[in-house]
């Protein structure tokens, strides 16, 4: 799979990319390797024009979605496609375990929850360490179900996985690709006008603030694997508790909010402006054109 993003197009022209692919194909031929042309595609992420690349007179197919190492990558940089596939696979796993686990009266609730975490959650959250979810992808959790099952909600699990992967990357040696991508910045290029989309770094900072972890000194904590795991676990529990309290407070305010009662009207009244009568219940008409006493 070949990717072309803004950074690559800034520093390389289409001709330079073609020369690079030609060198790669020549190196494969020298080592006796064969490139599968039907399985080799090209995708442009967040670009207006995708470059046309050929390998030995064969034009590579341009695709909008591509599955790489079990994760679906989209050209529009959106997680919607990957999330829909993950939810579908998790639902399939739930259905397959219906008779063997969920409806099995010989298994305790604790055992069923362990099966759920091992099979369903692992399928649903595969590759979630590098996700950048937004509020529109969030759903109000059924806190009563999670409380009865004794497990945190999915938002807290995503936070834990993201911070765990962040600590793992920070402990990598210099020169590792994940560490270089996390700490390096582009020297050229511009971002569009308006509020930019959240980056992976922004999501990590948001999760650390929600977990009461200082974003400026987290690297010192992450250097110790055991300490970072403990801080991350306690922070996730505090963040989850705050989220439940905020939800309960919002629900309480919504229930206590007074409802406005519409004004009482006579059975009919005559509109002097239009010389028509209005039935009871047309409150919008009464507000705009209320009857005046003679």
Write out pLDDT tens, residues 65-81. Answer: 888 888 888 888 788 88
CA 254 from centre of chain:
28
Cα gap 101→208, rounded to integer Å = 36
Write out pLDDT tens, residues 142-194. Answer: 666 667 667 777 788 888 888 899 999 999 998 898 888 888 877 787 777 88
Cα gap 75→63, rounded to integer Å = 8
**How far is the first Cα of the chain from the last one, in angstroms, to the nearest whole number?**
82
Please say if the pLDDT value at position 136 is more than 80: no
Please say if the pLDDT value at position 20 is more than 80: yes
Cα gap 11→43, rounded to integer Å = 17
Q: What is the DSSP letter of 57?
A: T
- The pLDDT score that the predictor gives to residue 284 is 57
User: In the chain, what are the domain boundaries?
Assistant: 2-74, 80-186+198-256
| 131 phi/psi in degrees, rounded to 5 | -75, 155
- The pLDDT score that the predictor gives to residue 259 is 57
Cα gap 210→260, rounded to integer Å = 36
- The pLDDT score that the predictor gives to residue 11 is 42
Q: CA nearest 121: which of 109, 133, 113, 111?
A: 113
Asked if 42 contacts 60 with a C-beta cutoff of 8 angstroms, the reply is: yes
Please say if the pLDDT value at position 95 is more than 90: yes
Q: Work out the average pLDDT over 54-75.
A: 83
Please say if the pLDDT value at position 257 is more than 70: no
Q: Which residue has the tokens 């039907």?
A: 38
Please say if the pLDDT value at position 133 is more than 60: yes
């Amino acid at each position: 799979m070949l990717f072309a993003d803004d950074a690559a197009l800034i520093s390389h022209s289409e001709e330079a990319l073609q020369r690079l692919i030609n060198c790669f194909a020549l190196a494969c031929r020298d080592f006796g390797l064969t490139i599968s042309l039907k399985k080799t595609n090209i995708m442009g992420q967040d670009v207006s024009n995708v470059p046309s690349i050929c390998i030995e007179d064969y034009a590579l197919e341009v695709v909008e979605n591509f599955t790489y190492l079990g994760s679906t990558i989209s050209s529009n940089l959106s997680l919607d496609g990957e999330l829909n596939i993950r939810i579908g696979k998790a639902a399939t796993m739930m259905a397959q375990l219906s008779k063997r686990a969920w409806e099995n009266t010989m298994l305790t609730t604790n055992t069923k929850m362990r099966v759920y975490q091992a099979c369903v959650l692992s399928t649903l959250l595969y590759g979630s360490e590098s996700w950048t979810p937004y509020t529109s992808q969030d759903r109000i959790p059924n806190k009563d179900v999670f409380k009865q099952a004794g497990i945190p909600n999915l938002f807290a699990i995503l936070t834990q996985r993201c911070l765990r992967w962040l600590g793992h990357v920070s402990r990598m040696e210099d020169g590792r690709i994940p560490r270089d991508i996390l700490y390096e910045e582009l020297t050229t290029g511009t971002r569009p006008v308006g509020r930019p989309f959240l980056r992976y770094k922004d999501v990590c900072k948001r999760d650390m603030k929600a977990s009461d972890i200082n974003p400026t000194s987290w690297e010192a904590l992450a250097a110790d694997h055991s300490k970072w795991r403990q801080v991350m676990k306690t922070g996730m529990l505090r963040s989850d508790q705050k989220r439940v309290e905020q939800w309960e407070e919002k629900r309480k305010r919504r229930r206590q909010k007074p409802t406005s009662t519409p004004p009482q009207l006579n059975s009919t009244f005559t509109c002097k402006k239009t010389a028509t009568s209005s039935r009871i219940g047309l409150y919008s008409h009464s507000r705009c054109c209320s009857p005046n006493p003679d």
